[in-house]
């Protein structure tokens, strides 16, 4: 009898199969003496769409809403049904004794596997592989310590609740807004409050009125000091500022107080996913999605880091004994940093990192014991690995120690202050690449209390208050984390969704709301905009995953909420105007065309929801030549399919009349055939052109 091992994707399945000694490769699985390893392709199963409950829902109408099935059904995703059928065939084999779930060890990974097994009506025993790295050692140990599948039932229920809540609220509110205002308007449980935060910051910026203020800086003996009153250095009254300036110039300054303090800064904890995404955005301008994609490769392909989608920055106590092995693994790329740490037996000085109570499903992201080969990594992979590696190395070094010196001068009743920081021990900052210099500066070190100095010079600086900056991706991630919006695993895709639906734009690394986004937030229910409500839902999902809340009660609340949200939209008297309407009309139905930005450039789409007309604003050019002017013709999609058009000659040709494309072998023959001709150029384009003329 054999165990059926279900991985989340083919690349992971191949690694599991290799470690488990499975060598018989088939199209949809790899078999060995004890195990048959197969895989999903991400999700193979999804929740049924409205039209699967009733065909009338294929047409979106406001009257049909809300759509709330009494029991949510599952269906096989059409594009990947072949892989589901393959798993189904394996599941029916009589030599299969149990299933080992080996999908990603998290909420979504659990859902991927459980929905497949539910659709298969799986009734045999079920076990769970739960590992935090993809190294051979971790896989072998994980298979020796398989956990009972039932141990993760609560995690599965939490995943189902999340999926159904997103379906019920996201689908119904999106359909309600789209049909009422006749423009694709997307809303959701997490994306809407995230958009609301971006809009709130924009409103703060637009309402901001700059105020003029002045600061005073004086040269006192060997130092530069700043005027201060009650911890405020700004003066909003110019005449008052000028009065102070005149009063102190050339006068005696007495050192009233000098305060020296020794301080220390603890080593930073290793990264969780959100903190890593924030740092990668600040340091390299990476989007959250890009960081996650690169991190996933480091985890799956190279096996250099531990599980990415974690919300913990701590390690478990049983990992203490693995620290030296991890240092050894990364030594080839960090010789100078690692050598002294290994000489100290890989002893972690930041002991607070080991805290079992602060590790939930997964510990912090740290390097594995896999041997590092930096030459295998591309530039982006090196950057992300380096962030993780240096944060890990910081755990083995002492705290950063420094001295602060704060001097307070009195000049004619006015207060001037000077501050200085002297580094005593760089400690962990040696490996973080921070611009900190060791040693002490000379300015305040030599001062003694009650000393008197002359104010040699004083100057007034005019400044203006500035509005807050628009959010960067790091800022949005911080706000989402602060309000509990989404999870580390979903935040990147939520941000991308806001960009794709054209409610925000990235400009110079910061988010600007669009006209569409500004209007949408006015149309959406107040309750759905509230980060507090969404945070409560996320907390409830977390409690469900730990068996501390009732999933059925949660879904009852969500259904009631859906009815309420749709009812509010139906009753609303608010108006909306599509901001991207053009003056051009659709050639198929006569409605105005809208301009949209896509990855392939600007496109024009019909504003009518019933019409599917769309074309590139700057048409895609084909290699088809106009029979009259011989210029390249545009490619268009129409009711009758693909056609070619020459704008200059107004000639249209159907795609069916297109000559067969020339393959590489034929290209070489053409080059050989026409190159000897002295009166003909040898560029490939010219050769093909001549060949086509010859064929005519």
Q: What crossing angle do the helices spanning 531-545 and 551-571 adopt, rounded to 10°?
A: 160
The number of CA neighbours under 13 Å toward the Cβ of 601 is 7
Residue 142 phi/psi, 5° resolution? -65, -40
Q: Give yes or no for a contact between 412 and 247, defined as CB atoms under 8 angstroms apart.
A: yes
Q: Give yes or no for a contact between 169 and 188, defined as CB atoms under 8 angstroms apart.
A: yes
| Residue of 376, 356, 385 whose CA lies nearest to 295 | 385
Q: Which two tokens stand for residue 653?
A: 């040709």
Give the DSSP H or E segment for 261. Answer: strand 252-265
Q: Which two tokens stand for residue 309?
A: 């989608």
Separation of alpha carbons 380 and 274, rounded Å = 18
Separation of alpha carbons 245 and 233, rounded Å = 13
Query: Checking phi first, is residue 333 left (phi over 0); if not, alpha (psi -120 to 50) or beta?
Result: alpha
Check if 453 is active-site: no
Q: Give yes or no for a contact between 405 and 419, defined as CB atoms under 8 angstroms apart.
A: yes
Task: Specify the residue for token string 């065309």.
Answer: 593
Separation of alpha carbons 569 and 558, rounded Å = 17
| Residue of 233, 166, 178 whose CA lies nearest to 569 | 178
The three-state (H, E, C) secondary structure of 296-342, written as one string: HHHHHCCCCECCCCCCCCCECHHHHHHHHHHHHHHCCCCHHHHHHHH
- Catalytic residue (choose from 307, 314, 334, 453): 307
Q: Give yes or no for a contact between 353 and 316, defined as CB atoms under 8 angstroms apart.
A: no
User: Alpha carbon of 334 to those of 276, 337, 371, 379, 385: distances in Å?
Assistant: 20, 5, 12, 16, 12
Residues classed as catalytic: 307
């Amino acid at each position: 009898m054999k165990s059926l091992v279900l991985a989340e994707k083919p690349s992971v399945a191949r690694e599991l199969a290799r470690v488990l000694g499975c060598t018989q490769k088939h199209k949809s699985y790899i078999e060995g003496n004890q195990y048959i390893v197969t895989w999903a392709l991400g999700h193979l199963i999804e929740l049924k769409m409205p039209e699967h409950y009733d065909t009338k829902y294929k047409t979106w109408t406001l009257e049909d809403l809300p759509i709330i099935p009494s029991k949510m059904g599952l269906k096989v995703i059409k594009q990947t049904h072949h892989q589901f059928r393959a798993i189904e065939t394996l599941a029916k084999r009589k030599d299969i004794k149990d299933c080992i779930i080996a999908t990603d060890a998290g909420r979504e990974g659990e859902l991927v596997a459980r929905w497949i097994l539910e659709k298969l009506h799986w009734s045999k025993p079920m076990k769970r592989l739960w590992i935090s790295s993809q190294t051979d050692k971790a896989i072998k140990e994980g298979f020796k310590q398989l956990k009972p599948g039932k141990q993760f039932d609560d995690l599965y229920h939490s995943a189902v609740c999340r999926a159904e809540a997103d379906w019920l609220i996201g689908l119904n509110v999106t359909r309600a807004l789209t049909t009422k205002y006749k423009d694709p308007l997307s809303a959701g449980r997490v994306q809407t409050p995230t958009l609301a935060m971006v809009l709130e910051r924009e409103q703060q910026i637009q309402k901001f009125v700059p105020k003029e203020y002045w600061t005073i800086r004086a040269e006192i003996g060997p130092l530069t000091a700043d005027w201060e009153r009650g911890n405020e250095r700004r003066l909003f009254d110019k005449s008052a500022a000028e009065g102070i300036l005149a009063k102190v110039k050339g006068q005696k300054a007495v050192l009233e107080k000098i305060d020296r303090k020794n301080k220390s800064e603890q080593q930073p904890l290793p990264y969780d996913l959100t903190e890593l995404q924030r740092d990668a955005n600040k340091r390299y301008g990476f989007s959250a999605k890009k960081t996650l994609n690169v991190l996933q490769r480091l985890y799956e392909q190279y096996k250099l880091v531990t599980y990415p989608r974690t919300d913990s920055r701590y390690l478990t106590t049983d990992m203490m004994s693995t620290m030296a092995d991890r240092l050894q693994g990364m030594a080839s790329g960090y010789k100078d940093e690692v050598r002294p740490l290994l000489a100290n037996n890989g002893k972690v000085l930041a002991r607070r990192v080991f805290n079992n109570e602060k590790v939930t499903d997964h510990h912090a992201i740290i390097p594995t014991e896999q041997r590092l080969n930096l030459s295998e990594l591309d530039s982006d992979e090196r950057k992300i690995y380096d962030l993780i590696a240096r944060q890990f190395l910081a755990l083995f070094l002492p705290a950063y120690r420094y001295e602060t010196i704060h001097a307070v001068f009195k000049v004619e009743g006015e207060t001037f202050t000077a501050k200085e920081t002297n580094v005593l021990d760089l400690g962990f900052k040696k490996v973080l690449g921070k611009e900190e210099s060791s040693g002490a500066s000379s300015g305040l070190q030599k001062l003694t209390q009650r000393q008197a100095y002359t104010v040699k010079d004083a100057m007034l600086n005019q400044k203006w208050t500035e509005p807050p900056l628009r959010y960067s991706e790091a800022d949005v991630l911080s706000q989402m984390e602060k309000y509990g919006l989404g999870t580390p695993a979903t935040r990147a895709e939520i941000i991308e969704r806001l960009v794709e639906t054209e409610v925000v734009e990235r400009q110079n690394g910061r988010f600007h709301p669009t006209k569409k986004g500004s209007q949408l937030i006015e149309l959406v229910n107040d309750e759905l905009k509230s980060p507090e409500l969404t945070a409560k839902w996320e907390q409830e999902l977390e409690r469900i995953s730990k068996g501390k809340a009732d999933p059925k009660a949660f879904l009852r609340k969500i259904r009631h909420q859906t009815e309420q949200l749709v009812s509010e939209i139906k009753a609303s008297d608010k108006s909306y105007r599509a901001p991207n309407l053009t003056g051009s009309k659709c050639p198929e139905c006569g409605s105005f065309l809208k301009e949209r930005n896509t990855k392939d450039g600007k496109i024009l789409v019909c504003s009518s929801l019933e019409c599917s007309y769309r074309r590139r604003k700057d048409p895609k050019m084909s290699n088809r030549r106009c029979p009259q002017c011989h210029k390249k013709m545009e490619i268009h999609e129409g009711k009758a399919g693909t056609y070619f058009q020459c704008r200059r000659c107004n000639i249209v040709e159907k795609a069916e009349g297109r000559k067969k494309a020339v393959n590489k072998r034929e290209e070489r023959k053409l080059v050989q055939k026409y190159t000897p001709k002295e009166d003909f150029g040898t560029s490939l384009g010219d050769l093909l052109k001549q060949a086509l003329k010859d064929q005519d």
